[in-house]
């Protein structure tokens, strides 16, 4: 297949590019280094140094005898994107190219505006490039479980059957995001649904939970091919922060009461999910929404898992509750359906003690590079 990956230098985009190229697909990636630039601007650089796309692609191609093609440009530039889509004629576009940090989107006006314009701009351009040049192309778009928020009812897989005054209709599941970033994902989904039902696009929108993992099959061959690893409060996930805090001897910072429940998944499962979605494209005029996570637990449970894994490595891990910088429920009902990808034969890799131990060991190799100032919250939802 010809696969175009938007955001191919990112945490998920780069491993996806390598995995698909190694399966023999024609892979072309685009990135404008937005993530690297924002990390530099906010003093949130990755823990391990990460070669740029030019170097990574050269290294990968030489190591595996494959050829990933790459382009450095901003996907909000429609002329550039549409000419690439016209020339490459992708059968699948995987769209990762967004500003993915909730705290970044809540810093202030310029950051919120940049997040809104970038995320909606890339989605809109991808849609129009497909309409004009590749109408049969399957768009696989990364959304987030955060689109749903934490409603007091079960979360369905994208859609809800509503009965009202004796009549029924199927609607997009009601969404109420907790940050401007997550709200741009809600708007993306609405935009996609409009163009799917109006122009007959084929789209799979993957509602993904936080992803963890430091390695893939390809990076096992050469560490320099590893995905980026951010551990700060802006670009690091709660899993990464806790692991780094454990290694650095800083108490794990649980925000508020720690009852926030989320659905998590292993990076290896993101790769599987995207591949499963790609290999079973939807019909034209269909928007398929799949909830992409494999297990759910609270922040307190996550902290305890990290503490237990640390103990096995001889690290004493303390857990501390700090004032929650976010506006969110700290204890709530949470039961999200996630059967769609299992029905497509996803084989989950769970967050076992061994998995956490392996990540802790890798981080211990870079202990000296940890900057403790980066792990405490610098962005508040209140200001």
Ligand X SMILES: NC(=O)c1ccc[n+]([C@@H]2O[C@H](COP(=O)([O-])OP(=O)(O)OC[C@H]3O[C@@H](n4cnc5c(N)ncnc54)[C@H](O)[C@@H]3O)[C@@H](O)[C@H]2O)c1
| CB nearer to ligand X: pick between 144 and 300 | 144
96 is a site residue for ligand X (CB under 6 A): yes
Count of chain residues binding ligand X (CB under 6 A): 28
- 206 DSSP assignment: E
Residue recorded with tokens 């690091």: 236
- Among 3, 29, 46, 97, the residue binding ligand X under the rule CB under 6 A is 97
CA distance 101 to 324: 17
| CB nearer to ligand X: pick between 118 and 298 | 118
- The residue range among 7-15, 62-70, 283-291, 354-362 that interacts with ligand X, by the rule CB under 6 A, is 7-15
CA distance 334 to 318: 27
Hey, which residues between 153 and 212 contact ligand X (CB under 6 A)? 208, 210-211
- Among 18, 27, 28, 31, the residue binding ligand X under the rule CB under 6 A is 31
Decide: 143 and 129 in contact? Cβ < 8 Å: no
- Among 115, 144, 261, 324, the residue binding ligand X under the rule CB under 6 A is 144
Q: How wide is the angle at C-alpha 240 spanned by C-alphas 264 and 114, nearest 5°? A: 85
CA distance 303 to 185: 28
- Among 27, 30, 127, 246, the residue binding ligand X under the rule CB under 6 A is 30
Least separation in angstroms between CB 202 and ligand X? 19
CA distance 35 to 45: 10
- Among 13, 103, 281, 325, the residue binding ligand X under the rule CB under 6 A is 13
Distances (CA, A) of 204 to 101, 142, 191, 208: 22, 9, 13, 12
Phi, psi of 56 (to 5 degrees): -60, -45
CA distance 244 to 284: 45
| CB nearer to ligand X: pick between 118 and 219 | 118
DSSP-derived pairing of the beta strands 295-298 and 261-266: antiparallel
| CB nearer to ligand X: pick between 56 and 305 | 56
Decide: 308 and 301 in contact? Cβ < 8 Å: no
- Known catalytic residues are 144, 181, 185
229 is a site residue for ligand X (CB under 6 A): no
Least separation in angstroms between CB 161 and ligand X? 26
String of contacts with ligand X for each residue 98-137, x by CB under 6 A: x-x-----------------x---x---------------
Give bridge partners of residue 287 from the DSSP assignment: 203
Least separation in angstroms between CB 212 and ligand X? 8
Say how many C-beta atoms besides its own lie within 10 A of residue 135's C-beta: 12
Give bridge partners of residue 95 from the DSSP assignment: 6, 141
| CB nearer to ligand X: pick between 211 and 341 | 211
- Among 92, 115, 204, 237, the residue binding ligand X under the rule CB under 6 A is 237
Least separation in angstroms between CB 263 and ligand X? 10
Hey, which residues between 271 and 290 contact ligand X (CB under 6 A)? none
Give bridge partners of residue 336 from the DSSP assignment: 155
10 is a site residue for ligand X (CB under 6 A): yes
String of contacts with ligand X for each residue 55-94, x by CB under 6 A: -------------------xxx------------------
Hey, which residues between 326 and 365 contact ligand X (CB under 6 A)? none
Task: Report the candidate in 26, 44, 33, 28 with the shortest Cα–Cα distance to residue 10.
Answer: 33
Decide: 278 and 92 in contact? Cβ < 8 Å: yes
User: H/E element holding 79?
Assistant: helix 78-88
CA distance 150 to 119: 23
Residue nearest to ligand X (CB): 10
Decide: 210 and 239 in contact? Cβ < 8 Å: yes
Least separation in angstroms between CB 251 and ligand X? 23
- The residue range among 5-13, 84-92, 301-309, 365-373 that interacts with ligand X, by the rule CB under 6 A, is 5-13
Residue ranges in contact with ligand X by CB under 6 A: 7, 9-13, 30-35, 74-76, 96-98, 100, 118, 122, 142, 144, 208, 210-211, 228, 237
């Amino acid at each position: 297949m010809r696969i175009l990956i938007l955001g191919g230098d990112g945490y998920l985009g780069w491993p996806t590019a390598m995995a698909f190229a190694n399966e023999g697909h024609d892979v072309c990636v685009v990135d404008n280094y937005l993530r690297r630039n924002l990390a530099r601007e906010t003093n949130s650089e990755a823990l391990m140094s990460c070669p740029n796309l030019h170097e990574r692609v050269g290294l990968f191609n030489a190591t595996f005898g494959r050829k990933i093609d790459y382009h450095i440009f901003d996907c909000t530039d429609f002329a550039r994107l549409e000419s690439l889509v016209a020339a490459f004629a992708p059968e699948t576009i995987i769209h990762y190219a967004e500003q993915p940090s909730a705290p970044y989107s809540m810093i202030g006006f310029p950051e919120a505006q940049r997040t809104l314009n970038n995320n909606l701009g890339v989605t809109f351009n991808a849609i129009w490039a497909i309409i004009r040049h590749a109408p049969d192309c399957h768009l696989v778009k990364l959304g987030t479980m955060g689109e749903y928020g934490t409603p007091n009812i079960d979360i369905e897989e994208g859609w809800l059957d509503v009965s009202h005054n004796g009549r029924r209709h199927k609607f997009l599941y009601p969404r109420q995001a907790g940050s401007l970033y997550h709200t741009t994902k809600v708007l993306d989904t609405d935009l996609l649904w409009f163009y799917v039902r109006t122009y007959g696009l084929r789209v799979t929108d993957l509602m993904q939970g936080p992803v963890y993992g430091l390695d893939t099959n390809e990076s096992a061959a050469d560490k320099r091919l590893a995905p980026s690893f951010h551990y700060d409060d802006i670009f690091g996930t709660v899993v990464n922060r806790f692991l780094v805090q454990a290694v650095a001897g800083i108490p794990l910072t649980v925000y508020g009461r720690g009852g926030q429940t989320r659905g998590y998944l292993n990076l290896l499962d993101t790769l599987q999910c995207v591949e499963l979605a790609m290999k079973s494209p939807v019909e034209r005029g269909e928007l398929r929404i799949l909830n992409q996570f494999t297990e759910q637990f609270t922040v307190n449970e996550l902290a305890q898992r990290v503490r237990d894994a640390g103990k096995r490595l001889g690290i004493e891990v303390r857990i501390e509750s700090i004032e929650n910088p976010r506006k969110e429920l700290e204890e709530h009902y949470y039961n999200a359906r996630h059967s769609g990808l299992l029905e497509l034969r996803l084989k989950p890799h769970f967050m076992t003690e061994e998995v956490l131990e392996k990540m802790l060991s890798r981080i211990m190799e870079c202990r000296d590079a940890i900057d403790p100032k980066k792990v405490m919250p610098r962005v508040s939802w209140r200001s």
